[in-house]
Amino acid sequence: MNLRSWQQNNKSTPLAGYNFGFMDDSAKKEVRRSLLKAVAIPGYQVPFSSPEMPIARGWGTGGMQITLSLVLPQDTLKVIDQGCDDSVNAVNIKKFVAKVAAVTSTTDTHRATVIQTRHRIPEEPMTGEQMLVLQVPYPEALRDVEPSELETRRMHAEGDYARMWLHLYEDIVRYGEISISYRYPVTVNDRYIMDPSPIPRWDVPKLHMSETLYLFGAGREKRIYAIPPYTSVIPLEFEDHKFRVEKFPNPCQRCGSTNSYLDEIINDVDGSRQYFCSDTGYCDKRCT
């Protein structure tokens, strides 16, 4: 085998023989019905069948199923991973959705109709015409205080959140601060405590009374939940220990933004620290 024939054999071909959006219609219908239920009960985790996707569990299969069951050919899709359009996970998912659903993709938050994201909410404000699909590793906000699913479902049903509050209180006693950094638990619509997915605290206030529909998909744990537009989303806090977002000592060194979440990057040459916007689409837009 020479290089040319090997190259020939490894050419990627379009995915023939699969349904539009990969999943069969009954599977899509189930996801949509679960989404409707999730929207009707904000913050409640709806169990769904979550069939296997051709990317691994834990790599955004929940978000992918939501996206695939919602996209139409006329949609414009943006996929980000840690704020970045060009990261491994985002590239894989975008490639796959483009292959099976033939949607156009963009890196511009403003132009996208559906945005799938891992661990960030875009800095640019989103509108009521857009949907944000978040990939979720741990749908259960109470998992850190209670490992059993049977028990956490009971706790949610009865609104029994005492152990969660105690957990936060003990944190303050031990560290002088609530030590939860990302995945900061929130109360949705004055009812359910919800895990907002591993977004930084910086992004949590964006969920409150937002114009945009937020959909959360946990593929491995087989749960879907949602925050409909104009829903109250309050991070857990005490009167004397308020919820606080991250602080950065410097503005973005590329676009100069002082109002965005930054990545700290250690310089290869002299080991100094530099700060850049984590949302690369936002940073690019400010630079042009």
Partner 1 sequence: MAYVAVKGGTQAIENACDLLNYQRVKGDSAPLGVDQIQEQLYLGIDRIMSEGGLYAPNLAALALKQTAGDSFEAAFMLRAYRATKPRLNHSIALSMDKMRVIRRISASFKDIPGGQILGSTSDYTLRLLDFDLLEDSTARRQAFREKIFKDLDPDLELPNSFPKVVEILRREGLLIEKPERRKESEPFDITRRSLTYPAPRSASMQSLARGETGGMLTLAYSSMRGYGNVHPTIGELRVGYVPLEVPHPETGEPYLIGEIKVTEAEAVAQYTGGDGPAKFTLGYGLCFGQNELKAISMALLDRTIQAEEGKTPAEDQEYVLSHIDGIEAMGFCNHWKLPHYVDFQSDLDRLRRTQSLEKQQEQEQ
Determine contact, residues 275/263, Cβ cutoff 8 Å: yes
Write down the least CB distance from residue 135 to partner 1, Å: 10
Q: Of the residues 21, 43, 62, 217, which is catalytic?
A: 43
126: its two tokens = 């989103």
Q: Which of 82, 116, 210, 231 binds partner 1 (CB under 8 A)?
A: 82
Q: Which of 33, 37, 143, 153 binds partner 1 (CB under 8 A)?
A: 153
Tell me, letter by letter, the H, E, C secondary structure of 181-199.
CECCCEEECCCEEECCCCC
At 178, the amino acid letter reads: I
Q: Of the residues 62, 63, 83, 277, which is catalytic?
A: 277
Q: Kindly determine how many residues on this chain lie close enough to bind partner 1 according to the rule CB under 8 A.
A: 69
Sheet containing 104-105: order of strands:
46-47, 223-227, 213-218, 131-135, 114-118, 76-81, 104-105
Reply yes or no on whether 84 is catalytic: no
Pairing status of strand 233-235 against strand 186-188:
antiparallel
Would you count residue 148 as binding partner 1 (CB under 8 A)?
yes
Number of Cβ atoms within 10 Å of the Cβ of 34: 24
Half-sphere exposure of 95 (CA within 13 A, CB side): 12
Site for partner 1 in 241-270 (CB under 8 A): 246-247, 261-265, 268
Reply yes or no on whether 255 is catalytic: yes
Task: Provide the CA 275 distance to its chain's centre, in angstroms.
Answer: 23
Would you count residue 24 as binding partner 1 (CB under 8 A)?
yes
Q: Which of 2, 173, 175, 259 binds partner 1 (CB under 8 A)?
A: 175
- Residues of this chain that interact with partner 1 (CB under 8 A) are 1, 6, 10, 18-19, 22-24, 26-27, 30, 47-54, 56-59, 61, 81-84, 86-89, 91-92, 118-120, 137, 148-150, 153, 175-177, 179-183, 198-202, 220, 222-223, 246-247, 261-265, 268, 276, 278, 280
Active-site residues, by number, are 43, 252, 255, 277, 283
